[in-house]
Amino acid sequence: MQRDICRILSNHKVTGNIYKMVIESRIISKKALPGQFIHIKPGDGYDPLLRRPISICDLDADNSQVTLLYRVCGKGTRLFTHTKTGDFLDVLGPLGNGFPIFHSKRVAIIGGGIGIAPLLYLSKELIEAEVYLGFRDETYMIEDFMKYSDNISIYTEDGSKGNKGYPIEALERNIRSYDVVYACGPKIMLRAVKNLCEENHIECYISMEERMGCGIGACLVCACESSSNEEYKKVCTDGPVFNSKEVNLDD
């Protein structure tokens, strides 16, 4: 983990409350792995006090560029929307454990909502992954995924774009075609993916979305229940990516 003062190259609304930001960081662009995140200080003062964790969406190491996709859901992320090209951000990263990469296995990627963010860089690294993406209504980043995968299935709850329904439905139909499944999205989706993969003896890796405080494993704000009787897992340091068998997603 390193601290970096990163210049903002662009920051704009994608749709609704979803924004895309590109920052310049030689440190992060050279070191980050798919599934890792960075911890950003929202402003210059002490309110809000805590940094905000944002998944790394994509990297361009040659140009030292890091792409972030974030959803405005509180004071900290709302402050991000007020930044502009040329401003600077105080960033820690890269943090956490990323996705293991398997180039010789048949793989599928499934994401829901803002959970698609860390899956773009993953699909770039995997090259031939089949991708399932789900949205409530408005879709985003589809063209970016199309750069890295020729097989993408799009689902919206209302059927306004792509197929009507949920991506887990398509994954279930094709589950026997894969050796490994990667997932990130709402907990209800992750639970369904975990159960589906484990019932069919398919290796599965999930990226957890949890509120964080310190981002370095000291405060325990992001603790999630382990599937064993040991203790809790820290999403910031033990994750955010876990083998599905490591964590308990039941309510």
Looking up residue 81, the CATH number of its domain turns out to be: 2.40.30.10
Residue 102 in domain: no
Q: Specify the number of domains making up the chain.
A: 2
pLDDT computed for residue 1 by the predictor:
66
DSSP 230: S
Confidence (pLDDT) at 48: 85
Candidates 110, 21, 26; CA nearest to 72 is 21
Q: Which of 30, 64, 95 is the last residue of a domain?
A: 95
Q: Residues 17, 112: one domain?
A: no
Residues 149 and 182 in one domain: yes
Kindly report the pTM of this predicted structure. 0.94
Q: Are strands 130-135 and 52-60 parallel, antiparallel or unpaired?
A: unpaired
Is residue 100 situated within a structural domain? no
Q: Please give the Cα distance from 204 to 110 (Å, whole number).
A: 11
Q: Which of 56, 73, 62, 71 is nearest to 22 (CA)?
A: 56
For residue 167, what is the domain's CATH number?
Answer: 3.40.50.80
The rounded distance, in Å, linking the Cα atoms of 55 and 64 is 17
Residue 88 falls inside a structural domain: yes
Residue 251 lies inside a defined structural domain of this protein: no
Co-location of 50 and 79 in the same domain: yes
Q: How far apart are the first and last CA of the chain?
A: 32
In this structure, the answer to whether residues 11 and 48 fall within a common structural domain is yes
Q: Is 116 found in the same domain as 84?
A: no
Residue type, 218: A
The answer on 127 and 86 residing in a single domain is no
Cis peptide before 240 (omega within 30 of 0): yes
On whether both 128 and 219 belong to a single domain, the answer is yes
- Which of 63, 95, 127 represents a domain boundary (last residue)? 95
Residue-by-residue pLDDT tens, the chain, 251 positions:
689 999 999 999 999 999 999 999 999 999 999 999 999 998 887 778 889 999 999 999 999 999 999 999 999 999 999 999 999 999 999 999 999 999 899 999 999 999 999 999 999 999 889 999 999 989 999 999 999 999 999 999 999 999 999 999 999 999 999 999 999 999 999 999 999 999 999 999 999 977 767 777 777 777 787 877 667 788 888 889 999 999 988 87
Q: What per-residue confidence (pLDDT) applies to 229?
A: 61
User: Could you tell me the residue range of the domain that residue 88 belongs to?
Assistant: 2-95
